[in-house]
A and B are shown apart, each in its own frame.
Chain A
Amino acid sequence: MVQPAPDGGRGEATYNPGMRPRRGRRQPPPGPRLAPARSTRQGLGVWPFVKLKLRITANGLRGRPARVTLFVVGAFAATVLAVLGYAGFALPGLLGDERAAGMLLPFGGALLVLGWLFLPLLFFGVDESLDPARFALLPLRRRTLIAGLGVAALAGLPALATLTATAGMVDTAARLGGPLAGLAEALGVTAGLLLCVTLSRAVTSAFATALRSRRARDLATIMLAVVAASVGPLQLLLLGLLNRADWDNVAAIATVAGWTPLGAPYSMGLDVVAGRAWAVPIKLVIVLAAVGGLVWWWSRTLEQAMAGTATSGGRGPAARADGRGPVDQLMFRWWPRTRFGALVARETRYWWRENRRRAGLVALTMAGLFLPLTSALGPVTGMAGGMAFLVGAIAPVALSNQFGYDGSAYATNLSIGIPGRLEIHSRAAAHALFTVPLLVLVAVLAGAISGQPARIPAHLGTLFAVYGTGLALMLPISVRAAYALPESTGPFAVTSGGGLAKGLPSLAGMIGGLLGALPVVLAGYLLGTAWTWAGLPIGLGYGAAAYLVGSGIAGDLLDRRMPEVLAAVTPR
């Protein structure tokens, strides 16, 4: 989609394919034909970009009630967060607590900036409605493009919400130190928003260029999965440390943070309050220098991002002549040469070779190892075993959209005509090849950390029961609520909106699985020593029975719905 030139689109004047946009110096030779083109480009401000972004957003919603609902929910959530943020940041001012303000503002601000850095990468994806690559063929100067994309990024819910929330800081500064302090803080908050936007744009643009090959993208997805999976445990750890820290140290760190680009924008008003007005221009320079550096970095990587991602990845380990036949290349040595064996072998390879699946496995492993560890560091050490069963509930979530991972490749199985139950059993078996050893490890770890090795069998029983009931619910969900994953070139690109609604069935399945295994979980808690050895066989039996029922339902459902599943997972 291309915005017409503001001059009303005398196309021949602006069409200029051979010329790359350049900085400064080499201006095109003046001439009667080129003159209108130059004036057009100089006249192109940032507004077309903003209008284009809003138009794309609106078109994305048109005629899709589900998308509109999600957009409204998202806008509502952003409003709530913004208001809460405002209230939180305004609180020290209301209370007249200068010390609390001195800690909350720099830290809170720094957290916001980091949020702008990490949240797009980890969870939400980057809003690619204005993908630089789409401007590659237009005769735009890089400066125009940067300004346009930057302002367009400001015109969005996240920027508005951030501005609203940080306005609470202005409130606090004004209450503590009068209008002048408020003004300084307002200046800082505005600079802070610029910092947030340029930081997130620069980093994602750099990522996009760094991750041109498929291998690099696969690797990055896994790295991010590791980071994402360790955020939760780190948070617990941090809270534990904060509980023990004394506030003077924290205040000292806050003062230091106030001189870094992360905290500087948000502590300017406080400096006026504290009578250090001289610090304001210095901090402003710090922030603007950071913004300038980021813009420079961004403009450096932008041109490469505009060239698009090269599709040809590494050729991989080609032609290693070991003389094995095709069947032996696919299957493991001891594997049965049957349909079931082939299905499981393919699934097993996919769990490792497909980056989204692999990221899921890595995240699950991290959660499985950290959950017992962190709960051991928590207030009650006995919790290590108690919390471990959650891993059994998380594990089946990876199967909640198992056909979506295949995408249109599922057509292969459909055109051959694989019976539903065979399909479901083979997929569950391949998943179990990875997860069952993990569950055993978690049970052993939990028992060892909590200092009760005798309880390991009971833990394992509980884990299997939760895993089995989770599978029983997740497998029918995977048939019934399959959805297409975007065939994206970038690892962070998401189809805008819809992620939440699509994730809901799997969340419901996880909770349902926990509830379904409640008898076994409770028995594990309440029966104590009697459960130590009875727990394993009972839990195993419970889980197996639940699995058989659930997989049977899922298989029969699949037999009736195969073409519908294929249609649902085929990306459009």
Chain B
Amino acid sequence: MTLPEQRTGQMAPAMSVRGLVKHFDTKLAVSGVDLDVPAGSFYGLLGPNGAGKTTTLSMAVGLLRPDAGQAFLLGYDVWQAPVQAKSLVGVLPEGSRMFDRLSGPELLAYQGLLRGMPAATVDQRSRDLLDVLELGVDNRTLVVDYSAGMKKKIGLACALLHAPRLLVLDEPFEAVDPVSAALIRDILQRYVAGGGTVVFSSHVLEVVERLCSHVAIMSDGVLRMHGALDDVRAGRPLQDVFVQVVGGRVATGSELAWL
């Protein structure tokens, strides 16, 4: 597995969004999000379902045009200088946003060549990634027939292939079995230790608490709280902070007595 080279002296934030706003029809999905992700951080974006995490990340990486606001990746404006910005970033999009009628190796080769990498490099790195993620270099199974965990792993491999300086991952641990999750965690930790920056969305608090150096909590399209993990927690369990910030019911009264 190829690790990104050690990078030092990053001053500009790896990802920075200013005043992002997005409407879907009449619903306000994201309203005025400002966020700076420091270079070299492991950043968790938390929030309940429908909080606007995916929408925010999609706008930040140039998949969704915001109604208002700006997004910068490693100092490049995503909507003004998309080529430079996108070439330094690896993205794991939500759900099955992959060309899943290709086999895993084919998908990696496609990604690598589209990134303009030399064929030999693509081959070498793809083999490394397929080996480490236990997907098999000679596995001809189409990605559409992969299990959920395998799909996440091949998606992660695609995002890592060009050794980006920033990884943006949408729900990387969703529907992943514990073994694969541990493997993904290990890869991401090594990546950050090597100087990379990871931003990922999740609603699994345990994972975030264990991995992240920074967290942000969203709900109803608004950024409720953000900062270094310890500052956000302020000595309490993250679960308590999350419930307090997001609100909502966590216990039942006497209603379901018949259950």
Contacts and interface: CB of A to CB of B under 8 A. Distances in A.
Contacts of A325: 105, 109, 123, 126-127, 137
B187 interface: no
B145 A337 contact: no
Given A326-B109, A564-B65, A567-B64, A316 B141 contact: yes
Contacts of B172: none
A338 B138 contact: no
Interface stretch (B96-104, B192-200, B231-239): B96-104
Interface stretch (A124-132, A282-290, A327-335, A466-474): A327-335
Contact of B109 (A214, A312, A342, A412): A342
Contacts, number: 137
A12 B142 CA distance: 45
Interface stretch (A228-236, A267-275, A346-354): A346-354
Most buried by B among A319, A322, A329, A331: A329
Contacts of B130: 326
A406 B99 CA distance: 7
A415 interface: yes
B141 A353 contact: no
B99 A346 contact: yes
Interface residues of B, number: 50
A350 B101 contact: yes
Interface stretch (B85-93, B208-216, B244-252): B85-93
Contact of B123 (A327, A341, A349): A327
Interface string A19-54: 000000000000000000000000000000000000
B63 A414 contact: yes
A370 B112 CA distance: 42
A330 B109 contact: yes
Contact of B101 (A318, A343, A353): A353
A417 B182 CA distance: 31
A326 B123 contact: yes
A207 to B, nearest CB: 21
A328 B105 CA distance: 9
Interface in B98-139: 98-103, 105-106, 108-116, 118-119, 122-123, 126-127, 130, 136-139
Contacts of B145: 214, 312-316
Contacts of A414: 62-63
B77 to A, nearest CB: 13
B95 interface: yes
A566 interface: yes
A330 B91 contact: no
B93 A343 contact: no
B106 A329 contact: yes
Given A315-B145, A339-B114, A563-B65, A326 B108 contact: yes
Interface in A160-210: none
B37 interface: no
A123 B110 CA distance: 35
A489 interface: no
B76 to A, nearest CB: 11
A308 B86 CA distance: 41
Contacts of A337: 113, 118-119
B225 interface: no
Interface string A377-392: 0000000000000000
A416 B95 contact: no
Nearest to B91: A415
B97 A349 contact: no
A316 B119 contact: no
Interface in A294-334: 312-323, 325-331
B258 A329 contact: no
A306 to B, nearest CB: 24
Contacts of B116: 339
Contacts of A317: 140
B105 A12 contact: no
A496 interface: no
Contacts of A567: 64
Nearest to B147: A312
Given A318-B141, A326-B122, A408-B95, A415 B62 contact: yes
A418 interface: yes
Contact of A330 (B61, B86, B102, B142): B102
Contacts of B158: 412
B114 to A, nearest CB: 5
Interface in A398-445: 406, 408-409, 411-418
B228 interface: no
A345 interface: yes
A418 B113 CA distance: 11
Interface string B60-88: 01111100000000000000001100110
A359 to B, nearest CB: 14
A354 B64 CA distance: 26
A9 to B, nearest CB: 13
Contacts of A319: 136, 138-140
B137 A411 contact: no
Contact of A411 (B93, B105, B126, B138): B93
11 contacts: A214-B145, A318-B140, A325-B127, A326-B137, A349-B101, A408-B97, A412-B99, A412-B114, A413-B114, A415-B61, A417-B86
Given A329-B106, A415-B61, 11 more contacts: A314-B145, A322-B138, A325-B127, A326-B109, A327-B123, A337-B118, A349-B102, A349-B106, A409-B98, A414-B62, A416-B114
